[in-house]
Amino acid sequence: MTATTTGPILVTGCSSGIGLATADLLVKAGHIVYATARRPETLAALETAGAHTMALDVTSEESMEAAVKGIEAEHERVGVLVNNAGYGEYGTVEETDLDKVRTMFETNVFGLARLTQLVLPGMRAARAGRIVNIGSMGGRITFPVGGYYHATKYAVEAITDALRNEVRPFGISVSLVEPGLIRTGFEEVALTSAAATPDGDSPYAALLAASAASTSGGYANPALATGPERVASTILKAVESRHPRSRYVVTPAARALITARTVGGDRVWDAIVRQQFKH
């Protein structure tokens, strides 16, 4: 596909990280890009680069409807939806505040699902369209202290697999991008989650400290982590490829971990986890 045939591209979560890098690369590739974020003032650089910018809160029905209707008023349909908005609320299963977990699900899962519902009628009418969901290697592997975040990404895996086969007859393709460790500031948000902060009174204090050390070390290791530009280039492939793949795993380390989990089973995976989270 070319920039003239994809139609306008709606990207969520563009204030920083993967969303910012993706919107910028898509603009440079000649696409019509609608870069969105909850706080549109964070999108000034993308607007200067040539993107259309607008406020979009994926936890607000009114905000999502307004964004999609605005694009459809200009272009009849959203050509490509890149569901990128998301974050991590970390902590042990026992100690994490479930209200905060519900809020994370609203962003990572229900916002993605609802925005998809809103763009599909236009795509079906045109018998063309693409949806690119940004998942994670964390949708196929699970580390302690990240169980609820992983659950949101496992949900994205299931939704994407179902959707891909539901909309194929309408000429719509669906791809899932599964990044490994990407230096975006994600880890800072995750590590400062209230339930992820080591507390001497917590029965999990040693585990939380080991998790913080392992996470920080992983993101600081150039052999394990990379920048958001790597993910952006993968998303560009998913958008422009004549025959997009159903899944794109980003980083060799992510592929290795997914393979270890799939091939090795629980015994091998638990041994990896015990080694990595010694406490």
The single-letter code of the amino acid at 147 is: G
34 is catalytic: no
Q: Coil, helix or strand for 83?
A: strand
Integer Cα distance of 164 and 234 in angstroms: 18
* CA neighbor of 84 nearest in space, from 12, 177, 17, 188: 12
78-135 residue pLDDT tens? 999 999 999 999 999 999 999 999 999 999 999 999 999 999 999 999 999 999 999 9
Q: Is the pLDDT of residue 164 over 80?
A: yes
Confidence of residue 186 (pLDDT cuts 50, 70, 90): confident
CATH architecture of 3-276: 3-Layer(aba) Sandwich (3.40)
The radius of gyration of the chain from alpha carbons, rounded to an integer in Å, stands at: 19
Amino acid in the structure at residue 157: E
CA distance between the termini of the chain: 51
Q: Give residue-wise pLDDT tens across range 200-213.
A: 789 999 999 999 89
Spot the catalytic one: 34, 90, 149, 204. Answer: 149
pLDDT at 149: 97
Residue-level pLDDT at 5:
67
Confidence of residue 57 (pLDDT cuts 50, 70, 90): very high
Question: Are the CB atoms for 193 and 93 separated by under 8 Å?
Answer: no
Single pTM value for the model: 0.94
pLDDT confidence bin for 3, thresholds 50/70/90: low
Q: Tell me: pLDDT of 190 over 80.
A: no
Distance of alpha carbon 174 from alpha carbon 239, whole angstroms: 10
Q: Is 279's pLDDT higher than 80?
A: no
